[in-house]
Amino acid sequence: MNEALMIAGMALTTFFVRYIMFAMAGRIRFPAWLNQSLTFVPPVVLMAIIAPLVLMPKGVLDLSFSNPYFWAALAAAGVGFWRQHLLTTIVVGMVSFVVFKGIIG
């Protein structure tokens, strides 16, 4: 029961955040400073989510050779900036993760 309520709450919250602007269809206008701040939101939130996963997979900062997350992310970022192609970035990242993890054992 608790679980059902939690999922319903998550579903409603998520839908509300995604729908409110579309529902009002242009009748909400944000002040300029808020609009400018909002442009930073997606990359900033996504980075705040992944930075600990990639750089601290075991709970402490690990930039050594024994951290495949870090090296695979570095490889993916390199290819990402070089080719500017999303699929290439994702595939290179995942393949190099498997390779690094395999090497490290």
Partner 1 sequence: MPNSKSTEFINGAKATIPLIIGAIPFGIIFGTLAEPSGLSILGAMAMSLFVFAGSSQFIAIGLMASGVGPLVIIATTFVVNLRHLLYATALVDKVSHLSQGWRAVLSFGLTDESFAAVNSRYLGRTDTAHAHWFFLGSIVAMYSNWQLCTWLGIGLGELFPDMTHWGLDFAMSVTFLGIIIPYLRNKPMWLAVISAAAFALMLRELPNQLGLMIAALSGICIGYASQRIELRIQVTKATTKASKEHNT
Alpha helices in the chain (DSSP H): 2-24, 32-38, 41-55, 68-83, 86-104
* Residues 20-53 as b or e (16 or more Cβ within 10 Å = b): eeeeeeeeeeeeeeeeeeeeeeeeeeeeeeeeee
**Number of residues lying near partner 1 (CB under 8 A):** 67
Show contacts with partner 1 in window 1-20 (CB under 8 A): 2-11, 13-15, 17-20
Q: Is 89 in the site for partner 1 (CB under 8 A)?
A: yes
Q: Is 56 in the site for partner 1 (CB under 8 A)?
A: yes
Footprint on this chain of partner 1 (rule: CB under 8 A):
2-11, 13-15, 17-26, 30, 33, 35-56, 59, 61, 68-69, 72-73, 76-77, 80-81, 84, 86-87, 89-91, 93-94, 97, 101
